[in-house]
Amino acid sequence: MGAARKKAAVEAAEGAPYLGVTSSARGLQWRERLAPQAAKTAAAISQRHNLPELLGRVLASRGVGIDDVAVALDPTIKALMPDPSVLRDMDAAAKRIADAIQKRERIAVFGDYDVDGACSSALMRLFFAHHGIDARIYIPDRLLEGYGPNPQAIDMLARESDLIVTVDCGTTSFETLDAAKPHGTEVIVVDHHQADERLPAVAAVVNPNRQDDLSGLGHLCAAGVVFMLLVGTARELRACDAYTGEIKPPNLLQWLDLVALATVCDVVPLKGLNRAYVTKGLQVMRGRTNTGLKALADASGLAVAPTAYHLGFVLGPRINAGGRIGDAALGARLLSGHDELEAARIAVLLDKLNRERKAIETATLEEANATADRMVEENPDCAVLIVGGDAWHKGVVGLVASRLTERFRLPSCVIAWDEAGRGTASLRSIDGVDIGEAVRAAVAEGILEKGGGHAMAAGLTVKRDRLADLTVFLQARLVARTDAARTAAAFDLDGALTPLSVNDDLLGLIERAGPYGQGNPQPRFAFPAHRVRFAKVVGEAHVRCTIEAGDGSKLNAVAFRAAGQPVGDAILASAGLPLHIAGHLRRDTWNGRNKLELVIEDVADPRRQG
């Protein structure tokens, strides 16, 4: 171990900043992820399970106990899925759907226009199709109808259906869902969004985040809840002897690829059952059995076995593109279809829409950044960025909010105004600031027409004449929380490496504790006092370079979207001087290559640290 790595280990044990970094290029303190009290657990994991020290440290720092290692390294549905009946209203929903199937009722599925909504809708349709029922899928137009059920759509579906199932929406659609009652049509809500005490008066509301649900499954996305509903419904049908004739029980595991896609793209915590969903879903996806996913992978040039990265950054954005700037129903239609020619057509269209979406997002982000820069300059204590534009596209406001939050480390609200003075906004937050709760509070105060969401992401509709009220409300409500969250923010590291230690064996070791994502962070390593060589800006503001250790070993590296940002500027200006460089490792398999590289997330000048 080199001197810098020894220094890092000693500092970590003492609770000091990692490598002495108190303020990096991103303004963060570097910190050892493995808490001192967890070091014994890491050692015990390695010894009892005969695992390398690094893997023991990665597992222990993510809360894995000594007795949980086997499941952590091989998360299975059998081990991690509880009885579906633990979810409130699950039994009532399963019985009602089973009854509808047996009576051959007309069924409609109302879904959201994002990846989770598309996957949830496709899961329902595939399940019904297996039982000989052609369920109708209805996805609202993002621009014309907005998020969630609307009275006109529900009234129309109720006239033509005996049962409506809403997926990834509906928990707060009280009066809207009442539009089905005059037609005698029952409604089941399957959702995961935060809920107040009041719930819609429908046949069942299956939502692990309703306040009286004690299942502990609030981390599931909607598709994860839908899958449990399908398990419960199949069990109900089996109990009714529905599978004694021509129709056999469905192989539910064949649809886990859709659950995995939704789980990653909805950025829910990859813990517990979600890890099983993604791990097993990726295995299913590698078999290319879903006609739509196969076509989408081909259209996007994905020629390798998909990983969680590909779900979140290759396939997901293309499905979302339909809901953002095209036909919102394209994703659900693609994922639930079997016609290869139709699937190929939709996949190519989604790929084209995704390119158009990127161009729209880039232009909007440029304007939003300029406004946010002025806001932060004028008010250094700003608790939430609120920006908007008359010509901004509703379909990209969420993406722009994510970029602002990433750059400024502040909750962000990005609003697209229409000609009538009504703003549609998406919000993104930082760890420790519950933006969904704040939005629901603003609805309760009468400031917003509607709104809701999660701790990290939300949406709202506001009239222009209430924007000032919204700004004052959110600033006052979030200022203390934002300040505390930013003060506590740190850049967690799993250890220090040199290029010489980066090889296929190391990547394979790291991958054993995956998949990684929200709630199970990608292992991140520091490369102490390395020199940057051949730094240049490439593509869409990315910075590529080679990092070199004192022993002459080298590693290719890239900092995404870093040009013009503090990290990119520091890399480009390093002029061969030593830099502490940190990030995560990945396999670069683009165009048939199989290289290992470092994705740079932060850097620090050793000369400016304590």
Residue the block writes with tokens 């593509």: 539
Locus of tokens 């406001």? 397
First to last CA, the chain: 22
Burial label for 61, CB within 10 Å (0-12, 13-18, 19+), is: buried
Q: What is the C-alpha to C-alpha distance for residues 274 and 254, in angstroms, rounded to an integer?
A: 16
For 572-584, the pLDDT digits (tens) are 999 889 999 999 9
Distance of CA 287 to CAs 17, 129, 305, 384, 452, Å? 45, 21, 9, 44, 37
Series of mean pLDDT values for 10-residue runs along the chain (610 residues): 47 72 94 94 96 95 95 96 98 98 98 96 98 97 86 97 97 94 98 93 97 97 98 97 92 98 94 97 97 98 92 96 90 97 98 95 96 95 96 94 95 96 95 94 94 89 97 97 93 96 93 92 96 94 96 96 94 93 87 84 88
- Type of residue found at 474: L
Q: Which residue has the tokens 């505390």?
A: 484
Query: At 223, is the secondary structure helix, strand, or coil?
Result: helix
Are 149 and 177 within 8 A, CB to CB?
Answer: yes
**Helical ranges in 180-272 per DSSP H:** 222-239, 256-265
The answer to whether residues 250 and 98 touch, using CB atoms and an 8 Å cutoff, is: no
- 225-238 pLDDT per residue, tens: 999 999 999 999 99
Contact criterion met (CB below 8 Å) for 478 and 442:
no
Are 439 and 455 in contact, with CB atoms under 8 Å apart?
Answer: no
Q: How many residues does the chain have?
A: 610
Closest CA to 562 of 591, 588, 592, 532: 532
Omega prior to 515 cis, within 30 of 0: yes
Task: Report the predicted TM-score, pTM, of the whole model to 2 decimal places.
Answer: 0.90
Q: Report the pLDDT value the prediction gives residue 477, as an integer from 0 to 100.
A: 97
Q: Are 436 and 458 in contact (CB under 8 A)?
A: yes
Q: What single DSSP character describes residue 520? A: B
Residue 519 near residue 83 (C-beta atoms within 8 A): no
Q: How is residue 386 written in tokens?
A: 């609120």
Distance CA 229, CA 89 (A): 10
Q: Exposure string (b/e) for 83-118, b if CB count within 10 Å is 16 or more? A: ebeebbbbbebbbbbbebbeeebbbbbbbbbbbbbb
All structural domains of the chain: 3-33+494-608 (2.40.50.140), 35-73 (no CATH), 79-352 (3.90.1640.30), 379-488 (3.10.310.30)
Query: Which one, of 221, 206, 338, lies nearest residue 278 by Cα?
Result: 221
Cβ neighbours of 237 (radius 10 Å): 22
**CB burial of residue 151 (10 Å; 0-12, 13-18, 19+):** middle
Phi and psi at residue 220, in whole multiples of 5°? -75, 150
Q: What residues are paired with 426 via a beta bridge?
A: 414, 459
DSSP 67: G
**Residue 170 backbone zone (phi > 0: left; psi -120 to 50: alpha; other: beta):** left
Alpha-carbon distance 439 to 455, whole Å?
10
Query: Do 412 and 427 form a contact (C-beta atoms < 8 A)?
Result: yes
Q: Collapse the DSSP code of 352 into the 3-class scheme (helix H, G, I; strand E, B; otherwise coil) and give the result.
A: helix
In 3-state terms, what secondary structure has residue 397?
Answer: helix
Number of H helices, E strands in the chain: 22, 18
Q: What is the pLDDT of residue 455?
A: 87
